[in-house]
Amino acid sequence: MAVDNVSMQIDRGEVLGVVGESGAGKSMTGAAIIGLLEAPGRIAEGEILFEGQRIDTLSDDELRVIRGRQIGAIFQDPLTSLNPLHTVGRQIIDTIVTHLKLSQRQARARALELLQEVGIPAAKERIDHYPHQFSGGMRQRVVIALALCADPKLIIADEPTTALDVSIQAQIIALLRKLCDEHGTAIMLITHDMGVIAETADRVAVMYAGRVGEIGPVADIIHKPKLPYTVGLMGSIPSITTEVDELAQIDGAMPRLNAVPPGCRFHPRCAHAFERCHIDLPELIKAGSSEVACWLYDEKKPGKGPSVSRKETARKKKASAKAAEALPLVKVDGLKQYFDVSPPWLTRVLERSGRQIVKAVDDLEFTINRGETFGLVGESGCGKSTVARAIVGLYTPTAGTITYMPGENGGATAKERVAEFDDKIQMIFQDPHASLNPRWKVADVISESIPEDRVSADRVAELLRQVGLADADGEKYPHEFSGGQRQRISIARALGGEPEFLICDEPTSALDVSVQAQILNLMVDLQRRLGLTYLFISHDLAVVHHISTRVGVMYLGRLVEWAETERLFANPQHPYTRLLLQSVPDLSKIGMRRAPMAGEVPNPLDPPSGCAFHPRCPFVQDRCLSERPMSIEVDGTHVACHAVEEGRV
């Protein structure tokens, strides 16, 4: 029973946030509403009413009239939501023509307007591109445009901002709220991002193991949570304003739906469980302005529920000081990574100077010291992942050098590193499901990374224990684990060769906040025990603030600012960094919406001259239009900005 006795109501113009870990039943509830349950799934009990009409009993033909026109959907995986054989423009135009009865010309004009509204750069050119020509974040924006094109009355938004950076996320949230405020559109917002919930939702439903555990106004759920599970979720969220040694984490995992425990389904993981919790299943009861399914709030068991607590510490300040004294481990000097994206037919008739060249990374310089975590942030398409792939050896740099251990015998270049230091540099990828071979047992996956002369069952078991898994887990397959557990397996595999340097490319972006807290705590613990050095790439600034000792900010292939974490977050210098930090959601300000960053990321095929950020910069002057800024040091921060250099910021 994937969803059990779930009741909720969404009013016109209201945003109902639905949160919970993977497997809680959030997406299944949304799929049931829109009539997209896959066989053998079925609605066994209950009813779904839309504008007073029962829709769960309608035929497929009757539902097709409602889907798209009355109820829109934004799905979690944009790649599988789009047809790879058609351009994104064709897919949007066909949907508009089907539901709104507009002409092809009118539909194309509306499709262009929608693509621009959701932040697609160079929309006039990109409307005729195919889904594979877009990044993950760009594809998600296309899916959102597709859901909005027929002006639906209800939108089921399943993780609509998961793949987006904070600046584009702010644009999408502002767009969704505008629909609610101006058109009375109702939104069911399924997400694990509580920052998005804080600024968007009116009410929140917290689901666990197929049931609603708590539902109420967004301010109460975030600041006065009652359900112990909700309290754990709130404590596991990193913040850019609070320094903590360890994030609160909910130990254990969501139960499998074919092995649900008796009584309260959360009791095996709950520190406040008592005898009744093991026997009786609680139903929602009134508790102030919220409803909560917890025996702690039953009249027969009076008492105060748990509260969110955070332990502040100076851990990172000490780590930063230690890292500053350490020797450099990786040095990137003048790195350029260019890609020729010209169509094959064009490459045969044009000289190289006339081809379409994307300068993904353009003259990058930075150093990562032993024992530190260097965070790399920036919007989608700025070149973060390209830098990671170049350092690990998956790309051959167009120009520049990447040196490993530059202070020891001159260091090793990228070519020499592959032969001599292959085991010392490892990478943790964004999607643990896609990066593990589904046909191999976990023991085989991990064994592949261990040097041949050291492969043994004991070594595999040791690695599993290091990441918090059991010895017996080596005999299972990746599909038998949760997302967080699969990421632990990826980390164990990366540790197999006893590396010194780990490149982490969005290692927590696909995880729930509770699982994210477990992984971040694990990474901090491993760094302390094994002396690891991290390059940590993420679009989540709060996560970067929590784990990093120094942070670099990238924009269109270049580093525009880098400094120690606390210095950069407390006193950002570059206008882009300031606007980026202003885009981070603030859990303390319920309903306060971020102002989307002005303008859009330039087309990488036609980057602006001078400072790449000048088309969006509030401090732009003539010099910025023609002269590329060089890096200078201001109060311990390295920044490349004419306005900062001239004291205009």
3-state secondary structure 258-290: CCCCCCCCCHHHCCCCCHHHHCCCCCCEEECCE
Greater confidence, 607 or 532?
A: 532
- What is the residue-wise DSSP string for 506-530? STTTTS-HHHHHHHHHHHHHHHHHH
Most confident of 336-350, 354-368, 547-561: 547-561
Asked if pLDDT for residue 28 goes beyond 70, the answer is yes
Give the residue-averaged pLDDT of 117-139.
Answer: 84
User: To which residue do tokens 């748990």 refer?
Assistant: 306
Please state, in angstroms and rounded to a whole number, the distance separating the CA atoms of residues 550 and 539: 15
Domain 315-645 maps to which CATH number in 3.20.20.70, 3.40.50.300, 3.40.430.10, 2.60.40.2890?
Answer: 3.40.50.300
Lowest mean pLDDT among 111-125, 391-405, 410-424, 554-568: 410-424
Annotation: CATH topology of 1-68+169-177+188-312 = Rossmann fold (3.40.50)
Domain ranges of the chain: 1-68+169-177+188-312, 71-151, 315-645
The predicted pLDDT at position 409 comes to 55
The predicted pLDDT at position 255 comes to 85
Give the residue-averaged pLDDT of 295-320.
Answer: 59
Asked if pLDDT for residue 324 goes beyond 50, the answer is no
Greater confidence, 256 or 595?
A: 256
pLDDT digits (tens, 9 = 90+) for 491-532: 999 999 889 999 999 888 777 788 888 889 989 999 999 999
Pairing of strands 186-190, 15-19: parallel
Give the residue-averaged pLDDT of 306-314.
Answer: 54
pLDDT digits (tens, 9 = 90+) for 399-458: 999 998 866 555 656 555 555 666 789 999 877 778 899 999 999 999 998 988 889 999
Rg from Cα positions in the chain? 25
**Secondary structure element (H or E) that encloses residue 402, with its range:** strand 399-404
Whether pTM > 0.85 for this model: the answer is no
State the chain's mean pLDDT as an integer.
86
User: Which tokens sit at 571?
Assistant: 């006193």
Confidence bin at 367 (pLDDT 50/70/90)? very high
Q: Are 286 and 270 in contact (CB under 8 A)?
A: no
Identify the CA nearest to 40 among candidates 1, 80, 81. 1
The predicted pLDDT at position 524 comes to 92
Q: Are 376 and 391 in contact (CB under 8 A)?
A: no
Say yes or no: do domains 1-68+169-177+188-312 and 315-645 share a fold: yes
Asked if pLDDT for residue 319 goes beyond 80, the answer is no
Confidence bin at 101 (pLDDT 50/70/90)? confident
Please state, in angstroms and rounded to a whole number, the distance separating the CA atoms of residues 532 and 368: 12
The predicted pLDDT at position 317 comes to 43
User: Which tokens sit at 204?
Assistant: 């929140």
